Structures are given as structure tokens and as C-alpha cells.
Structure 1
Amino acid sequence: MQTQAYHIFAPESCRTSVVFASPHSGNDYPEWFIRRSLLNAHTIRSSEDAFVDQLFADAPCFGAPFLVANAPRALLDLNRAAEELDPALIQGVRKVGHNPRVASGLGVIPRVVANGRAIYHGKMSRAEADHRVEHYWRPYHRALTNLLAAAHNQFGEAILIDCHSMPHEAVAGAARRSGNAPEIVLGDRFGAAADVEIVDRIEAAFVRAGFTVSRNTPFAGAYVTQQYGRPHRRQHAIQVEIDRALYMDEARIEPLPEFDSFRTRLRGVIAEISEIGAAPEQDLAAE
């Protein structure tokens, strides 16, 4: 049975131009995929943004739709271009130029999970790769495009919050370089994907909740922010990375005891971000 590409958690009524999306929290691992992999069912989850869908699940309560991928990142990476095919993994694909993501095994169909651990033995057919793109990648991105278009039509702008988590070791490395470990990293491709005023307000919401925030270091955003961030068209895309150590045991891939309190803390941030895209008359009504 084929995994559904995504699920949209829709609000009773859209009250904001903000759209939340989680492309890497999918955990519907088909049995055939696990059987084919060199990795066990636990290790293959190491690239997954585990529980991010739960952390942002309250978005519809504040009038914002929430798009969640069901297919796991190890099966297909929705934060890559459909054309980022890996010649080291897929038969019949020729290398064209140098793409560091593809070269490291992290193309649209990943060859490795975290820490460079190989997913497969040998190559897959081009037909299988194309099937994954057609049945998972294209439906998700059609849905995301439609949600942003609907927000733009209703509010005159769209603000995409692309929700992710990051390994603690990634921010620990940043701390060794700068002396300060961020808990939240906002990626706007150094201003190319969103207006600075919007990013300022998002950062302020996290800071008010007590988080340490950095921008674009060590993550500035990948395909999604590059593709959908069009500030000159009043369409903004901001990637949000959360340190996994704040809410989960990374080795066990299990929520920490304080997971619920962390989610409550994040709920207030989601409310403030949603308010950024609320229409003026709705702001007045809320007062």
C-alpha cells in the first residue's frame, strides 16, 4: 500500500496569510523500503525531523493551515529540487556540474542518512526514482503552491514557515566557533527569501519566549526557501530550525519528559507568528 504524500491540517477559517509546513517529519516507512535498506528501522530515522509535526500542530488553532509530509525524508527529500538526482544511486543519471548536496548523497532521493550511513546496497532504476518523484514530491509541492496562492489571494501576501529540526551537534559546532549556541535558527537565504521586517518579527516572537536565535548560521535555507521566497511578489519563506535536544532524546528518537511543556512554550510563538499575517480588521476584532 502506497504512503500518502501529505496531509493538510486546515483551520476552521483562514485568518492569516501564514502557512506552516513540515517536509521532513514524515514517519510512514513502507515495509518494502525497510526491507530493502541496509539500515534497521531505528537507524533509518536519523535524518527525520521527528515530532516537528506535533510541535506545530496548534497552527490551525490560530487560523493557519499546516501542511505535513507523510513520506519520510530517507525515502524522498522534499527540500530538494526534483532534478537533484544522484548518479551514484540512480541508474542512467549523468553527472551535470557539481552539486554539493547530491555529491554528499543528499539529493532528492537520499543515498545516505545522518552521519553518511548508506541506505542501499547498489543502485536503483531510473523508473523507481521517477515514481517517487511523481507520487511524493510533486503532490506535496502542488499542495504547498496552492496553499500559498490561496493565502496570497485572500490577504495579498503569503508567509511560509518551513518547520525543521536540527541535530544538537550542528549547533554545538556553531557554539565552538562563535561562543553562543543558537536554539533556533531562522533561514531566509540572507534576506533573499523574505522581507527583513517579517523575519525581525518572527525572531522577536522566539526571543520573547526565551529562545536564543540566530539567522542563517549554520542553516540559511535550501530548496523550499529558494523556490518559494519571492519577497518582491509579497511571498515570503522562512526556514525555522529547532535544536532537537530541547525536546527529544536524539539517540532513542523519543520525546523528553518536558516535551509537552516545550510544545506549550512554542504554541505562544506560533500564535505570534500567525498574527503577523492577520488582516488589519481581524487584528482590531481580536482587541
Structure 2
Amino acid sequence: MNDILNSPDAQDSFAVLPGAVHSPVILHVPHSSREIPAPVRDGILLGDAALESELDHITDAHTAELAAAAAEAAGLTPWRFVNRLSRLVVDPERFPDEREEMLAVGMGAVYTRTTHRAPLRPADVDPRPLVDRYFHSYARAMTEAVADRLTATGRAVIIDVHSYPTARLPYELHGDGPRPPVCLGTDSFHTPPELVSLAEKAFAGLGGVGIDSPFSGAYVPLRHYEREPQVAALMVEIRRDTYMKEPGGPVSPGFARLAAALTTLVDAVDEWTRSVGTLGR
């Protein structure tokens, strides 16, 4: 584990890509990369072929490119926060101090099981070196990015860009519900109804929009969570068959339609936040 602690600066593991100074929007892309540093790879039990297959299933492929396309086309360029490492290194959207249900399937902040519940790391692995090296720096930087938007514009709107497979994977605890082309994950404190409505309208032409199924919730840094009503958040989960060849193949013609829809959402959020002034309840 000393190799992990001595690996290149953890800040190289993510990118904060500036947008317009007056934009409150942060497109957060946490699961798009397949990159695993060599010291981390040494602690993974899978052989090369099995690891590539797991990356095909666990990676939200092409979501960084989707966010980039929307940022380029938007009237007011949103900010982007992009994870450069695979979620098999650490999952920045898990909370390591929280005894959450994903730990039951080996998918806490540091995964010990694969999407098909096979061993990924030893069950007794110490997650602290990975959490200390990668998780905390990511969380601090995301917290600072949100605080920066609050200072600059008086508000921050986090749009979490994800994808999910057409067929339920064994690790999914709540995967028996609807699997629409676009699933919107919401938070009772940080997701105003107006934000949901804007997203439903933006993605309406893609074949169906659902709420909180098969995935729910929206990411907000802990410093702001349930404390700062000027931070709004929405998770956008895109079913992969709508824009790519599953499980880990190239994009399809649907990618352009999704990029246009995400651009529409970003533009609508900018207009909405200017019109309401604040996001207070």
C-alpha cells in the first residue's frame, strides 16, 4: 500500500474545467474513466481480460464526452468536474464513514466485489490508503468548486452525468423497477421540483423519462448537504442502449441527440436560476 501513498499527486486524478464566470452549473462526471494506476491495479484480483470486462460493465462510458459536447454548445459554458480515474480506484460518490447498504454488496468507497458479485479485492482489504490518497482530495476539490459557484453567482446547480445498463446487473439492489431511457435521480432537500420539470422537458424527446428508478439520489458535497438550500442537484442517468453499443462499445447516433438534450437542460437551468434569483424554499 505504500506504493499507493507514493503514487503521483492525487489532484491529477480529476479535472476542474472552468466555465463562464456567471454560470452556476457544474456538470459532474464521476464514473467515465477506465484508468487505474499500476499500484492500484496490483491490489485487484482479476486477470487482465476479466478486468477489461468489468470495466465495460462498471464504467459510464462516453459521459465525459457527452458533458464536453454540452459544455461546448451551451449558451453559457457550464463548469465541469471530471474524474480521470476509474471508480474501481475509489468511488467518489460513496461516503466512506457511512454504513450504507452498498457495503453489503462490496461497493462502498473502495469496491471489494464486481458488478457480478465476484471478488475484486480481498474482503479484508484496508480501504484507508486509497481513501486517503484519492477520495479526500476529490471531495475537497468538489466542495471548493461548489463554494466557488456560490460565491460567484449566489447558487450552484450540480448535474450529475451517469449512465446505466439496459439489463439489471447482479449488484443492483433496487433494479427491479422501470428502466427508462433517462432516469432522473432526486434528493428531497436539494432537488427543487422546477429542476425536475426542466429536465423532463429537455429529455422528453428521447423515449421516456422516469424518476428515481432504477437509481435515486443526487450528489452534494457533505459540507453543503442539507445545509445550503442554494445548492441544487440532479442526477441524470442515461440508459446505455440509447447512445452506445453495450457493454463497452462505441457511441451510436443517439449520442448527438443526448448531447443536444443535455445542452437544452444546461441552458434552461441558467435561465431559471437568473429568473428566480435564489433557490430558497
Query: TM exceeds 0.5?
Result: yes
Question: Do structure 1's residue 256 and structure 2's residue 251 form an aligned pair?
Answer: yes
Matched, 1:67 2:66: no
Shift of 1:259: 5.7
Instruction: Give the Å deviation of 1:164.
Output: 1.0
Q: Matched residues in 2 for 1:106 and 1:270: separation?
A: 31
Shift of residue 118, structure 1, vs aligned partner: 1.6
- Please provide the CA RMSD for this pair: 2.8
One-letter amino acid matched to 2:14: Y
1:203 correspondence with 2:200: yes
Query: How is 1:14-93 mapped onto 2 (pairs within 5 angstroms)?
Result: 14-39=21-46, 40=48, 41-45=51-55, 46-61=57-72, 62-84=76-98
For 2:227 and 2:184, how far apart are their aligned partners in 1?
16
In 1: Cα distance, 2:31 partner to 2:177 partner = 27
| Contact 2:94/2:109 (<8 A) preserved | yes
C-alpha distance after superposition, 1:86-112 (max 9, x if no partner): xxxxxxxxxxxx632111111110111
- Determine the structure 2 residue equivalent to 1:283: none
The letter of the residue matching 1:105 is: G
Question: TM-score scaled by structure 1?
Answer: 0.78
- Runs of 5+ unmatched residues, structure 1: 85-97, 281-287
Whole-angstrom CA distance in 2 between matches of 1:101 and 1:68: 23
Q: 1:176 to 1:114 in 2, by over 3 A?
A: closer
- Partner AA of 1:275 in structure 2: D
Q: Residue 245 of structure 1 aligns to which amino acid in structure 2?
A: D
Contact kept, 8 Å, 2:35 with 2:86, in 1: the verdict is: yes
The percentage of counterpart residues that share the same residue type is 22
Q: Counterpart of 2:16 in 1: which secondary structure?
A: strand
| Match of residue 114 from structure 1 | 115
**1:260 offset after TM fit, Å?**
4.9
Size of the alignment, in residue pairs? Answer: 256
Distance of aligned partners of 1:159 and 1:257 in 2 relative to their CA distance in 1, 3 Å threshold: closer
- 1:169 CA drift (Å): 1.3
1:235 is matched with 231
> Is the CA contact 2:184–2:236 (under 8 Å) kept in the aligned structure 1?
yes
Equivalence map 1:189-228=2 (5 Å): 189=187, 191-207=188-204, 209-221=205-217, 224-225=219-220, 227=222, 228=224
Contact 2:175 2:213 survives alignment (8 Å): no
